[in-house]
Structure 1
Amino acid sequence: MIPYLATLGGCAMLTLFIVYLARARFSERSNEVELRIEQLLPQTQCAQCGYPGCKPYAQAIAKGEAINRCPPGGEAVIEALATLLNRPAPPLADDLKPVPVPLVARVVEEDCIGCTLCIKACPVDAIIGSQNQMHTVIEALCTGCELCLPPCPVDCIELLEKPEVALRLVPKPESNQPCIMCGACVPACPKHLDPQRLFLAFDMQDKTAQAQLSSCVECTLCDQVCPSHLPLTQTFKAMKANVAARDIQAAAALQAEARHLQRQRRMQQAEVQLVRRPDRQAAKALIDSLAKEPSS
């Protein structure tokens, strides 16, 4: 009987251990998916999606929320999320207004009364100023989230279009013939790359192709041996330009995310200090009572 119970107990412990490992692995994968989703979002922290920031929306998407609720990201973000999650790419939700051009806020100086309400509303600390003094928007940090508009009591904030920071991708050069995967370009490459695979990976979903792209020296030797006369080098140049454009956009998103997190930490610290701060009236009453007590 005792050996049987020992065996049963051992099996139970093993089962619990397997369940624990499975849960830990599932949690790790879920966190990884959430992180990759969050990296694709523009980090404007505009809350137009219905969630209080990009991170909560990323967490919701990982749990099954729709991927078409990010107006600042638009079609590009929807398509990227669809590719990542292997879902269909629907159009932007009907209840949301598209943002075709990046926006930046500007304070109308002559109308500003220095109420600081816009400063408190900005999720990335892009507005500076002090009480009863004119406020200013740091355009390089503004994400165009529009959250500063509703609190302004005098409507002195306007949104301006900023098309120069919009993501502009170079289209793939046209070719009359398709790639026949003959492999003639492979031995011609002085960098030992695979031009045909690189050519077919124009959308840069192929991680191996991404690694190869930076090694291409644009020597045009692959063009010369291609029987289909494909514009290989032109395509690689376009791909490099698109990678650079995406890198700039990603850097801006990372900066906005960092400033948002820094602001959240500061606000949390302020709340803790506010809770710990003693009540002034109670403190004054205590001091007065101590002052009235006769000294020994």
Structure 2
Amino acid sequence: MRLFLLPISTRRSLIYCEKLHEKAPQDRSYYDKLTLKANETWVAWEKDDKAIGNWKRKVTFYGNQALKRIPYEEWGLKTIPALTAKRKRDIESGKAEYQVLFPGQYLPQQRVPALLHKLAKERQSMHRSKLLWSILIMPLTAPFMLIPVIPNLPFFYVLYRAWSHWKALGGSKHLEFLLQHNLPTPAPSSALDQLYTAGLMYPTRALSRAAPRPTQQQAAQVAGVVHQQTNNETQDVMVLQRWNGKLIAEQFRLPDMEVEIERAVGQVEKSIKTREELVEEKIEQEKAAGGHGKRAKDVLPEEILERIQEKAEHVADQGKDGAKAKEAHKP
């Protein structure tokens, strides 16, 4: 099983566990089927515009806004599966293999064990107490069952929060058990180093995708600038871009990872810096590997820039054609 320890900033990191293979329908437990059904229902509500007063889409809109406020640490722990008896036996017998991948240029390996221990332990008591409170509050939502047409939304929200805390608590206990058995094995990833560096060298996903992969020297230069910006590690500096989550997810073929990264980056950005400060830091990082005071994008070959421009214009034209087609089909 692979875990990813992804620094969002120089002080905050996201833990993400590679999703296990999807079970065949006949092998799914009642819990798996219930979870799948809930997800399918939520997606269907997001697209349903036939309900009275459009209440289903309104519920999902405000529900998604509420979900964005759930701390990214909780989302990350929820990706780690529960510690079953079989997994525990495999870990104790040495049969199970666990790796934790991380960008070594932006997260020194000696910091990984302490960081994993912090992620495993610091939120356990909070998740345990909030799980208990969610269970105690559930009966108080019973009067909302009397509202016609609309389901008992307060009950389902409290139920979801109880489930979320239970999942995060289970993930943290699994991670704690791994650490007690000297797992997971640290595995610095050169691919992550390149993706992080490209995200800091270039201002957009398109440029980062089209440009040549950064060299080890460029990675070291950009990492050095990041360290300087921390002012001897007294300040928190962003090292991951929101748009870079898609590229990292594509590299490891883990599409669900993209959402987790974007959510984490958004929350950390909001908490540590103003937008102007982030832009200034980002430009300084882009100049680190460009040389002669230029940003990295300014030294790219013209054919790469032209190809990106053509692609952008093509996408824009497609959008205009789609809008015209919709307008033509209006009664």
Question: TM-score, normalising length from structure 2?
Answer: 0.23
Q: Which has the higher contact order (CA 8 A, sep 6+)?
A: 2
Larger Rg over CA atoms: 1
Structure 1 or 2: more helix by fraction? 2
